[in-house]
Every structure is written in C-alpha cells, then in structure tokens.
A and B are shown apart, each in its own frame.
Chain A
Amino acid sequence: MTEATTDAATPSIEEAREQAKEAAEETTGKATETTAASADRLVIDGVELTSRLIMGTGGAPSLDGLGAALLASGTELTTVAMRRYSPAEAGSLFQLLLDHNIRVLPNTAGCFTARDAVMTAELAREALETDWVKLEVIADEHTLLPDAVELVDATEQLVNRGFKVFAYTNDDPVLALRLENLGATAVMPLGSPIGTGLGILNPHNIELIVSRASVPVVLDAGIGTASDAALAMELGCDAVLLATAVTRAQNPALMGEAFKHAVIAGRLAKAAGRIPRREHALASSAMEGRAEFL
C-alpha cells in the first residue's frame, strides 16, 4: 500500500496559519502577519511541498526560458519525459532541475501499453533515482486520452514493483477510485485533453473525485490560463499540474508567476468557503436610515 499522506492528516489552512504565527512570534518576539498560504503544505509520500503547482517541461522553446518560467512559477516538483540519450543535449534539463532544487517526476508519456509504461518507469527509476512516476498510458495520438484498461493494469504492476504512482486519469470518479484502491499515491484527473487549453470541462466530476478520494487529487491537463487553475483548487484539488499553458504562453515566465498566484488564490478561496449562489440580488447596504428627498 501507498504511504501517501492526505490532506486529512495535514493541518488545515487555519491551523497552519496559527502555527506559522506562533513560530514567527517565537523567533522575532512579536506578532507577525503570516500568510496562510505560506504555511499550507501538500504532503505526498511523506514529502512536504509548499507549492501546489506541479509543472511540466514540455513545449518550451529554450532551456533558459524554461528555467526562468519554472523559477517564476515557484514549483517544487516538475515532470520530465524519458527519451533516447543524445550527446548534443546531454543531461542539461536534469541538471537544470538539480540546480534549482526542483524534485523530478518522470512520466511515461508516449506509452500506449502497460508493458511500455512499466519499462519506461523502470528506466526512469534507474536514471533519476526516484520511485515516483507520473503514469501516462494513452489510447491514441489524436486524443491523448488515457486508456483506462492499460492504466489500471500498469498501476497494479507498478505499485507491486514499489513505485509511487501518480496516475494520470480520465475525469471518471469510478476509475479514480479504482486507481486509489490499487495503491496509487495520487490520482490526476484531466480537466480536458492534453494541450487543448479548454480548462475544466466537467467540474462536477472533479468535485466528485475529490469528495471520495483519500489520496491527493491533482488536476492534470487542459489548463489554459490562471483562472482554470484557480477553479481546480476551488473544486478541492490538492494541486495542479500543467505545462503547455506556461511553456507556450507568449511570456512563459509571466504566466508561470500568474499560475503561482492562481493556485494559492484558489486554495485560499476553497478554505475560506464561498458564498452560496442566489437567484436574486441581495443588498449589502442596509435599506434602513436612508435620507429622504421630497
């Protein structure tokens, strides 16, 4: 079974805010304003992450630009793909992530079968010395949608081999629960197909997945702009994973920063509790005591 710790075991935002305040008071001797966000941690497989933004690295035109965007986004966990070694670009991306102290999450992108995904995960574990893997088993190149049957098979095999499986899945509450029960460390439902930027097409399903999950839920794929990421967090997701929305933005570093704030804002809004939607207007100024004009 997975050792993943869920949010249930981590402090709530309010508790985290109090703890941070107390810690700050102890060190400075006076009350300090601490933001709730800075003390709110995501814990996955015993690893604490301050940032709830997981970045991908695909689609960036240059390594320098990618580095700037990753830094601006504040991400602490970033996906990479495994491909044939080419002396020309040897190790530069891996080194970039090491230099910036960003944890690596290898993926199995491009795999169509459980067999290929397991093989790719094994190679990634050897190469990058991590047992974390973003499991991606796609059905076809046109939709890039997960193949549920192969995904379930691969999850079971990888969990048995000791991997911590971050399962990229359809926005299907039944499948998400299946993957969790097989031992997935995190489930990562798509908002919409990879690279489309269509946002979250079925927010109801995402909410349903969140409400039944006891492992972290990461909204993965389809994010177009900052408000999509904020919505994912408002729906209760524990984190957001995106690549294209930043790497192919006109200004990737600026968009990276936008997402950093969007994820924090959405997380805070979820914790704060939004007002209910109403059919009719509700005045926020009192009607009593108005001046009368004859």
Chain B
Amino acid sequence: MNITLNGNVHPVGAGASVTTLVSDVTGRKLAANGQAADGQRLGVAVARNSEVVPRSQWHSTALAEGDEIELVTAVQGG
C-alpha cells in the first residue's frame, strides 16, 4: 500500500506500523517503546494525519492506505 511521507508517495508493506516506517527511513533499530535500540537519542517525531503520534504508541499504530505522515527532526534555525 502507499502512504504519503513528507509530501511524497511512499510504499509500505501491509501491516506496517509507525515503528516499521521510522526504522526503515532512519536506518535505526527501534525498541517497542519507540526509543532507538542502540540507546542513543533518535531525535525525530511523527505526525499522522495532522495528529502527533507519541513515541510510545508508534508500535501499536498501524499505517493505513493514504495516511499522511510527517516525519520531522531538528535542523539549523533561529
């Protein structure tokens, strides 16, 4: 199925969760609590259809066809 990730069409496997997506895109392994498995800070956040998905709920949040996902991180500014 396809979702929209940061404004672009992005294919994901059936049954993929937010955790699956974040892990695929960042290349980091994630624990069930949404923290990086290597113990380092992950530094990203996710909004699904304009609602923030707390890290703790990434694992239990399944993606659906057509979901609008924003994946953001800290960049230079201000």
- Residues of chain A within 8 A of B70, CB atoms compared: 84, 123
Number of interface residues of B (CB under 8 A): 25
Q: Which listed residue (B41, B50, B54, B71) contacts A85, Cβ 8 A?
A: B71
Q: Which listed residue (B46, B55, B73, B78) contacts A107, Cβ 8 A?
A: B78
| Residue of chain B at shortest CB distance from A63 | B76
Q: Chain A's nearest CB lies how many Å from the CB of B41?
A: 6
Q: Is the CB of A81 within 8 A of B26?
A: no
Q: Is the CB of A94 within 8 A of B43?
A: yes
| Residue of chain B at shortest CB distance from A241 | B78
- Residues of chain B within 8 A of A197, CB atoms compared: none
CA distance A129 to B25 in the complex (A): 20
- Residues of chain A within 8 A of B43, CB atoms compared: 91, 94-95, 127-128
A271 CB–B CB distance under 8 Å: no
Q: Is the CB of A122 within 8 A of B52?
A: yes
CA distance A58 to B41 in the complex (A): 22
Q: Is the CB of A80 within 8 A of B75?
A: yes
CA distance A122 to B43 in the complex (A): 13
| Residue of chain A at shortest CB distance from B46 | A126
Q: Is the CB of B26 within 8 A of A85?
A: yes
Q: Is the CB of B77 within 8 A of A56?
A: yes
Number of interface residues of A (CB under 8 A): 37
CA distance A203 to B5 in the complex (A): 46
- Residues of chain A within 8 A of B46, CB atoms compared: 126
Q: Which listed residue (B6, B54, B73) contacts A91, Cβ 8 A?
A: B73
Over the window 188-217 of chain A, the binary record of Cβ atoms lying under 8 Å from chain B Cβ atoms (1 yes, 0 no) is 000000000000000000000000000000
A104 CB–B CB distance under 8 Å: yes
Q: Is the CB of A82 within 8 A of B74?
A: yes
Q: Is the CB of A81 within 8 A of B78?
A: yes
| Residue of chain A at shortest CB distance from B75 | A83
Q: Chain B's nearest CB lies how many Å from the CB of A111?
A: 12
B1 CB–A CB distance under 8 Å: no
Q: Is the CB of A80 within 8 A of B47?
A: no
- Residues of chain A within 8 A of B25, CB atoms compared: 85, 87
Interface centre among B6, B70, B72 (most CB of A within 10 A): B72
CA distance A177 to B48 in the complex (A): 36
Q: Which listed residue (B54, B76, B78) contacts A126, Cβ 8 A?
A: B54
Interface centre among B71, B72, B78 (most CB of A within 10 A): B78
CA distance A82 to B76 in the complex (A): 8
Task: Across the A-B interface, give the 6 residue pairs with the lowest CB-CB distance, nearest first.
Answer: A81-B77, A127-B45, A126-B45, A79-B78, A80-B74, A107-B78
